[in-house]
Structure 1
Amino acid sequence: MQDSRVATRGLVLLGCGKMGSAMLAGWLEAGLPASAVWVVEPNPSDWLVGTGVDLSGTLPEAPAVVLVAVKPQMMAEALPLLKPMGNGDTLFISVAAGITLAAFEEILGAQTPIVRAMPNTPAAISQGITAIVGNNAASAQHLAEAEALLQAVGEVVHVTDEGQIDAVTGVSGSGPAYVFHMIETLAQAGQAQGLDAETAMRLAKATVAGAGALAMTSEETPEQLRINVTSPNGTTQAALEVLMDESTGFPSLMARAVKAAADRSRELANG
């Protein structure tokens, strides 16, 4: 990253909350000089001040990249500040939920290379996954540049159509909340069977974390891993008969949950 276009011409980070801070930490750790970063953040944290990035509010005329990480409701106020950078070769990357490529083009110009990204909260520990899609002005090089920057907080996948971002939101964008709720309910179920609250929660957290790590590292599919741990007429099979019930179990429940999140994402995008 030290020899990249970003290091030479600079990067503007618009918004430095949890997601922006996670990405900035990853870039700096990867070798991006603090002197190459300008941050627009009305309430900078002590950590941000200590990084040495430029917080003066005076921005470069043509940075290599502008990464937009403000909340969607702040977008209308924030983006016009960057309009002079549009219709050039400055790449805009947005991690703001529900803001479409067309909405950015209306403000920045249709010739502006724009990449829309949907990360998730495990980015805070560099274990996130981000889906990206570009507008017509975004070249393969622009997409590669966006991927390189977003890899600072985890994996990156490409989708071929912007409409797929809504499905991504339902699966990975909102997905961590589903897993956190599963941990909650698994621990509560353990308590109901006689465990104390602390032990139940430790067991639930470690089980979900360990199973996820095994799924990520194993050459076997999650389906096969499930089969491996399920003895005929055993305890796991008894539980799975409840969880895999077509009308009340995970298949139906998860499909409805992901659809609800994706539908809400579409509503946000349509105003």
Structure 2
Amino acid sequence: MSKHNLFVGCGNMGQAMAAGWLLAGEDANSFTAVRPSGTPVPGIRTVQRLGEIDRPPDRLILGFKPQQLRDLSSDVARWATRDTVVVSMLAGADMAILRQLFPSARALVRVMPNLPVAVRRGVLPLLASDPEDKALQAELQPWFSMLGFAPWCASEEEFGAIGFVAGSTPAYVARFIAAFAAAGEGRGLDSGLALTAAREAVLGSAWLAATSGEPMAELARRVTSPRGTTEAGLKVLDAELPGLIDRTLGAATSRSAELAAEIRG
């Protein structure tokens, strides 16, 4: 019998993960989602209450809002047995909190996926309650790797750093594409043409970066002619972008600390 994967809460990110696994060929019958709203999760069985579950989960995936963890943990913990791996997507809920709330689980794993898991091109750092449990990592690695780049982290700090670099990046890139499209419109392009040109340019550039193996500085150099237009643009971008990215990730880090404080009460 295939593993039973139970989503408790299944919002945008949970749905993206489910879509990626189904795209990879995972059996739809191996998934169940609990959503109090009853809104179906495309492709998998959806129920409104934990009481409707008729089979203990092998993997219990926490996909609700982090602020709900304390309220929901007692009901959810009954399903976290010695045969269950609890997989938490909850920002701010560190391993110490998870150990406290799910003491009977076989293992605890934190994951911080980003939205491209839906098309199997995500980044999803992983952290296990026992980083030395190589058997657990070997069991779960192929499953998570179906969704993209899934590195195991050695510490909460490493896990958080990768998550902050990759987790919100789709939103930031969407803003970047929209800004380039708007600049194109401001120079007379049709809105649809401007958006398509910006989107395809970013996609092609990312694909080249991923497949060429070249350092990013070398890729930039290949586009940049001395005293040319790209060089002029980079002088503006290089003066502002590093500080802007650092402040952006700093704001996300601060909010994560606030969420952790809220969870601890």
* TM-score class, shorter: 0.7 to 0.9
Q: What is the aligned partner in structure 2 of residue 210 from structure 1? A: 204
Two-structure CA RMSD over aligned residues (Å): 2.5
Contact 1:130 1:154 in 2 (8 A): yes
* Residues paired across the two proteins, number: 259
Query: Is 1:251 paired with 2:232?
Result: no
Q: What is the aligned partner in structure 2 of residue 175 from structure 1? A: 169
Counterpart CA distance in 1 for 2:30 and 2:197 is: 45
Deviates more, 1:65-74 or 1:104-113: 104-113
In the TM superposition, residue 59 of structure 1 has moved relative to its aligned partner by: 4.1
Q: Deviations over 1:93-133 (max 9, x none)?
A: 11122211111111111764101011011122222110111
**What is the aligned counterpart of 2:129 among 123, 127, 135?**
135
Q: Deviations over 1:10-63 (max 9, x none)?
A: 222212222222322333444443443333222344454x64x374722434x3
Query: Cα 1:32–1:204, aligned 2, differ >3 Å: closer, same or farther?
Result: closer
Q: Percent identity?
A: 33
- TM-score, length-scaled by structure 1: 0.84
In the TM superposition, residue 199 of structure 1 has moved relative to its aligned partner by: 2.6
Q: Map of 1:1-271 to 2, 5 A cutoff?
A: 7-46=1-40, 48=42, 51=44, 53=45, 55=47, 57-61=52-56, 63-86=57-80, 88-109=82-103, 112-136=106-130, 139-245=133-239, 249-271=240-262
Contact 2:6 2:61 in 1 (8 A): yes
Query: Cα 1:32–1:123, aligned 2, differ >3 Å: closer, same or farther?
Result: closer
Query: Cα 1:237–1:85, aligned 2, differ >3 Å: closer, same or farther?
Result: same
Query: Cα 1:41–1:212, aligned 2, differ >3 Å: closer, same or farther?
Result: same
Counterpart CA distance in 2 for 1:184 and 1:54 is: 35
Runs of 4 or more, structure 1, over 4 Å off, are: none
Query: Cα 1:197–1:137, aligned 2, differ >3 Å: closer, same or farther?
Result: closer
In the TM superposition, residue 71 of structure 1 has moved relative to its aligned partner by: 2.0
Q: What is the aligned partner in structure 2 of residue 4 from structure 1? A: none
SS of equivalent residue, structure 1 residue 115 = strand
Query: Cα 1:166–1:126, aligned 2, differ >3 Å: closer, same or farther?
Result: same
Counterpart of 2:149 in structure 1: which amino acid? E
Gaps of 5+ in 2: none
Counterpart of 1:89 in structure 2: which amino acid? D
Contact 1:14 1:70 in 2 (8 A): yes
